Each structure stands twice: as C-alpha cells, then as structure tokens.
Amino acid sequence: MFIPQPLSLIYFLSTLLVGTLAISQITHAEQTDGAELNTSDLSYTAWIDSDKRMKCLYGYAADKTGDHRAAIRIFEDCIERWNDVYSMLWLAQIYEAGVGVKKDLQKSTALMKRGALSRDEAGYSSLARYHYGIALYEGIGTQADRSEAVVFLQLAASENISDACDYLKVRGYACASEQITDKESAH
C-alpha cells in the first residue's frame, strides 16, 4: 500500500510500534511456551477492548503479528466508534487478501468507499479515494464505473497521492479534473 508523504511520520511511528510490539509478543510467548499472551500496556491484546482511539494503531500490530481476529475486532470497533479511516483501509486490505477471513472483495471495496467519502485530518481519506478509484475503474468488488473512478482518482491526485496521477496518466487521463482526455473509451 502506498504511503503519501504527509503520512510518512505516522507510518514510521506505526512501523516502530509494530516492531516493538512484535518483539514483546514473541519474547513473552517464548517465556510462557505459547500460553496466554502478555496483556501489559505495550501489548496489542491490552488494547482490544479499550475505549481509547490509540487502539486503532494496535490493530496493525495485531494483524502483522498474525492475530487477525484481534485486528479485525480492533478495526471494526474503531470504525464503529470513530469512523476511523485508517482502520477502514486496514480492514479492507484484510478482506481483499482473505488473510484470517474469507476473501470478500465487495466488503473490501465498501470499506474503501466509506473511507473515500470521509474526511480525516491525517490524510487516510486521500489514500482511500485512490484505492476506491482503482476498484471502480477496474470493477473490483463493485460494478465498474470509469467516469466515477476518474473523479475519485483526480481528487486523490489533487491531494498529493502521486500514484493516482500516475494511474490516470497511463490510462490517458490528465490529473487535473478540468483536463480529462479519455483515450480508453475510444477502444
């Protein structure tokens, strides 16, 4: 998944958090011969039932350490409580890949659409618009609608998602919404 520049610090911190948590989980599991995992504040398991929004980052840790059930619980709760777009993207990825759950492209795309229609300060909505635009363009988990896809992709491109602009250009579209040229529709 592409991480735009404004998210690079968040991505770095999330990656650092996951590495620390993974080492903590593995070390504790080895010490307890795989028995119940550590539930200290540094463990993602301590955040599963938390009412604090910080838990949404721990969903990533749970997913990356292989506890997909905990990740799904965390992400679903974050979406329900806070309409958290970060959680929508990660849960969409889980359903798209079918890791820990049955693959469900419709559910994945519905989550990306929800994120694409949201506004968040961190920039995850822009990333959701990019992924939803591709799903619409290619008909992944939804009926293909290229004209609507271009709208989402151009919006993502205007929000500094350079991959959206690249995707549009390869298909004959300009990044700016006022300069649309549809070369593919002629085919």
CA distances from 136 to 4, 19, 52, 139 (A): 21, 34, 34, 5
pLDDT at site 91? 97
pLDDT in tens, 104-162: 999 999 999 999 999 998 999 999 999 999 999 999 999 999 999 999 999 999 999 99
How high does pLDDT run on average in the chain? 80
Distance between CA atoms of 22 and 18, rounded to whole angstroms?
Answer: 6
Distance between CA atoms of 99 and 168, rounded to whole angstroms?
Answer: 30
SS3 61: helix
Average pLDDT over residues 55-69: 91
pLDDT at site 15? 52
Least confident interval from 22-36, 87-101, 134-148: 22-36
Our measurement of the distance from residue 170's CA atom to the centroid of its chain's CA atoms, rounded to an integer in Å, reads 24
pLDDT in tens, 49-59: 888 888 998 89
Per-residue pLDDT at 183 exceeds 50: no
Distance between CA atoms of 87 and 90, rounded to whole angstroms?
Answer: 5
The domain spans of the chain are 5-186
Q: What share of the chain is helix, strand, coil (3-state, %, to 5)?
A: 65, 0, 35
Following CA atoms 166, 171, 177, 179 in sequence, which dihedral angle do they give, to the nearest 10 degrees?
110
Q: Which is the CATH superfamily of the domain at 5-186? A: Tetratricopeptide repeat domain (1.25.40.10)
pLDDT in tens, 72-92: 999 999 999 999 999 999 999
Q: What is the largest CA-CA distance in the chain?
A: 64
Residues 6+ apart with CB under 8 A from 165: 157, 175
